[in-house]
Structure 1
């Protein structure tokens, strides 16, 4: 029994059916949670150390690194039975859709900092950091997540069951 099957066995039946039905979305969300931690950990590290004067650049770098991790995890796990394209074409489309997601992700923190002036010296450092987190890590990431899920299913991994599911040997 795989790890996912053992976890699903612990979930009550009405919810288990919903999770199985929306398995791709659930896996995509788990990958998103993982890359959320990578993105935010790296973003706050960069903007509080070497890129303290360039928070948008720090966010762009952290999103790019999280996107590379996301490609590997989504291709090999979330959408592992989907395909329909040559790998280089698939990767190019993945990173193109992700670039659109990056731009969407950067709009809220840009607005927060440079339009609403939620940055030092106009506000306290604590207010700035909370505004950065809410705008970049919550609002921007949620908007980008919906865009990416739609774009990945539509263009990057368009065909369901294009690659065979690998069923582990029960022995």
Structure 2
């Protein structure tokens, strides 16, 4: 049974659109993951920083690169009327995501005792996965708001000629009074037929 464009449900159309959004979100997110893990690895091995400090530094740099990808590629057609609001919310939700990542890493290291570099990277993967789900939902819901869909304009009502109004003597000879009178006759003349 073939489906036609008319028979496809609005839910199916939304799911198709969401699938494309998830793929693009994944591409931008993957580039952020590469940046995040590269900086993290460099900080713990090259600079000898503690793992939680390294995670925070790596995540902050990845947040900056991800914002550029989300704003100028994935959500470029979204409402950008208030950039200050958008950036603030992006940083707030990204900060919560960073807390999720760092919390999982800290829990694995200090509570579970997983302290090798490989175990730290594994904990970072788990924390990043949980934070990614949180970020996807929060970014698309609150940060990069969709523009309201425009409804198709209603067909114009046929204009029916109306008999000209009887001349009315102006109450005032002022130009404001004459403009109001002119406006009133124009509204009567083009009033929609009922």
One fold, TM greater than 0.5? yes
Larger Rg: 2
Q: Which residue in the other structure is 2:123 paired with?
A: 135
CA distance in 2, matches of 1:38, 1:66: 6
List, as ranges, runs of 4+ consecutive aligned residues in structure 1 with deviation greater than 4 Å.
18-21
CA distance in 2, matches of 1:27, 1:85: 22
Cα deviation code 1:27-63 (max 9, x no counterpart): 110001101000000100011122x251110110000
Q: Which residue in the other structure is 1:145 paired with?
A: 132
Per the alignment, do residues 117 and 26 of structure 1 end up closer, same or farther by CA in structure 2, a change over 3 Å counting? same
Q: Which has the higher contact order (CA 8 A, sep 6+)?
A: 1
CA distance in 1, matches of 2:43, 2:76: 33
CA distance in 2, matches of 1:72, 1:147: 19
CA distance in 1, matches of 2:148, 2:108: 42
Q: Which residue in the other structure is 1:48 paired with?
A: 45
**Between Structure 1 and Structure 2, which shows a larger proportion of helix residues?**
1
> Aligned-pair RMSD on alpha carbons?
1.8
**Could you tell me how far 1:116 is from its partner in structure 2?**
0.8
Q: Which among 24, 28, 36 is matched to residue 27 of structure 1? A: 24
Q: Which among 43, 54, 69 is matched to residue 73 of structure 1? A: 69
Unmatched 5+ stretches in structure 1 = 1-17, 120-127, 163-171
**When the two structures are superposed, what TM-score results if normalisation uses the length of structure 1?**
0.73
CA distance in 2, matches of 1:148, 1:161: 22
Cα deviation code 1:70-113 (max 9, x no counterpart): 00110111111122540111011101110000001111110111
CA distance in 2, matches of 1:149, 1:21: 11
